[in-house]
Amino acid sequence: MASRTSQQPVVMTIAGSDPSGGAGIQADLKTFTALGCYGTSVLTALTAQNTTGVIDVHAPPHNFMYNQLVSVLEDIDIDAIKTGMLFDAGITRTVVRTLASHFHEKQMPPLVCDPVCVSTSGHKLLQPEAIEVIVSELFPLTALVTPNKTEASLLLTHCGLPSKVDDLTDMITAAKNLQSLGPKAVLIKGGHITVTLAEVEQLSIAQPEVRVVRQGLLGENMEILQSVERDLTTGPVVVDVLHHQGGTVLFVRPHVDSTSTHGTGCTLSAALACALAVDEDVVKATQTATMFTHLGIENAIPIGHGFGPLNHLHGITQRSVPKPTPSNPHPLTRALIESTGDIWKAYVQHEFVQQLARGTLSRACFLHFIKQDYLYLKYYARAYGLLVAKSSSFSQIDDATRTITNVINEVSTHRFFCAQWGISEAELSATPESPATTAYGAYILDVGLQGDSSRLVMAVAACLLGYGEVGLWIKRQAALPDTWVKLEGNPYLRWIEDYSGEQYQGAVKLGLETIEAIAVADPPSKRRFEEWQAVWERCTRLEKGFWDMSMGLL
């Protein structure tokens, strides 16, 4: 959800507290968080309650309520507001007047009024005198009011309007009548009214101007799903009725037989505020918010002994790799290296590397290595060719192609050493491949065949980054006082300089950026990160195996 004003829309709830966490500002804050909004919350009255009922209510002094409200309003820009339990006339009046005076000169953000009157368990949460204040003072500021059957009846009775809200036709009439009292739009929640799809269809025929939005019900051309799913079209459905300046809209979805309904109204109005904070279209907002709430009920987990809470967490997943930050601009690379610390170290500080840096590595070992590495680099260039084939943009194609060119340049080092020690290019090409070479080379091509481009990038990374690491490590060690590294007269100096040099390190930098960009553009699920990690680890082992082989240990 993107904000009109910032990365995180700021939403304010003005409501009661439910310590058991399913309703009140607790439900609101959970909803705001799950929908990517920043939540602020002003407490009107506190309850001591749980899933079985309300035990006690405590309302702080009106002046304290006022102080909370101004402390938020004066410091923080609000993108949307919801009101829940307002408890009494004094609190309601304080809320209305403070908002009206604060937004006297600037645009009032969309306000959703959930006219909480009675708890699910039957506890009265609004004193009768407050109703008049809601209607006469709060409604005119309200973008959307969201009564249920009982609340709609109470409000209508108070205003001397027909108060029967028992069926679909009643709901439409009630919505229209309530809207005439001042709010921009009215959403009558139908959770407690039994309706069938047939009734919706009849009404559609009788009142063709009424728009019907089907939610979570199979649509047209879904015979294949219909044939394997339980038929939800014959049972009861839940219909919420929206009336706004653009007309009347019915939101129709399957009735879920559940006792996990504690805080449904709070959650819905909180989700509505989140949706309105980013887009003022009340139909779209209702669609998003009713589905969020419906899924909260469907995904509920048993908690408590009465009417349990919704599951507010159904729509979020945990990141497996953090976003890059100033102090950790390469979180994926770090996570990969950290996850294989010992193997990575055994690779980049291999005995082969240490002897090479000392200049004591036997020429036979080095030549064995250089010949096999020459053969390996053919696989490696081909892997980047495969990456070109798997690319979806010219810039990806360009990056991978430049790496192929770099590999071809890298091979000139191999030719240089061979020529220096009397090995012809023909002999180099004719060298039989060692199993370690085939294993590693064929593995990265296999990863490239099996997975998408991200997995292939992980497969080529251990080689690209590891040789860069070796080059820099040797250089860093060489710069220490009393270093064990011997650069002067080292027969392998060119190798060290090539991998620590600007050109190769430039390729390493490009590789780092590529790896990190993948996780930013498409945050990996846990499973996907584990796949990447497994490929990285395998390649790190294969790299170590390559040097084991070169030293004749294998």
Active site residues: 189, 261, 263-266
* Residue 330 binds to a copy of itself (criterion: CB under 8 A): yes
Plot region of 397 (φ>0 → left; ψ -120 to 50 → alpha; else → beta): alpha
* CA dist., res. 175 & res. 179, Å (int): 6
In the list 86, 96, 203, 348, the residue contacting a copy of itself (rule: CB under 8 A) is 348
CA distances (Å), origin 507, targets 144, 245, 307, 454, 475: 56, 59, 60, 17, 17
Burial class from Cβ neighbours inside 10 Å (0-12, 13-18, 19+) for residue 397 reads middle
Of 13-21, 129-137, 264-272, 368-376, the segment contacting a copy of itself by CB under 8 A is 13-21
* CA dist., res. 444 & res. 424, Å (int): 28
In the list 104, 107, 206, 230, the residue contacting a copy of itself (rule: CB under 8 A) is 230
Of 128-136, 161-169, 216-224, 375-383, the segment contacting a copy of itself by CB under 8 A is 216-224
In the list 123, 345, 368, 402, the residue contacting a copy of itself (rule: CB under 8 A) is 345
Of 151-159, 188-196, 244-252, 465-473, the segment contacting a copy of itself by CB under 8 A is 465-473
* Residue 329 binds to a copy of itself (criterion: CB under 8 A): yes
Please, which of residues 110-169 interact with a copy of itself by CB under 8 A?
Answer: none
* Residue 403 binds to a copy of itself (criterion: CB under 8 A): no
Between 246 and 265, how does the x/- string for binding to a copy of itself read (CB under 8 A)? --------x-x---------
Provide, rounded to whole angstroms, the least separation between the CB of residue 191 and a copy of itself.
15
* CA dist., res. 485 & res. 119, Å (int): 77
Please, which of residues 512-551 interact with a copy of itself by CB under 8 A?
Answer: 512, 521-525, 527-528
Please, which of residues 498-517 interact with a copy of itself by CB under 8 A?
Answer: 505, 508-509, 512
* Residue 58 binds to a copy of itself (criterion: CB under 8 A): yes
Tokens of 64: 């304290």
Between 423 and 462, how does the x/- string for binding to a copy of itself read (CB under 8 A)? --------------------------xxxxx-x-------
The closest of 271, 267, 297 to 284, measured between CA atoms, is 271
Tokens of 88: 């009494």
* Residue 293 binds to a copy of itself (criterion: CB under 8 A): no
* CA dist., res. 502 & res. 479, Å (int): 17
In the list 105, 205, 208, 220, the residue contacting a copy of itself (rule: CB under 8 A) is 220
Residue 499: CB atoms within 10 A of its CB come to: 23
* Residue 313 binds to a copy of itself (criterion: CB under 8 A): yes
Q: What is the DSSP string of 442-458?
A: HHHHHHHHHS-HHHHHH
* Residue 228 binds to a copy of itself (criterion: CB under 8 A): yes
Q: Are strands 144-145 and 111-113 parallel, antiparallel or unpaired?
A: parallel
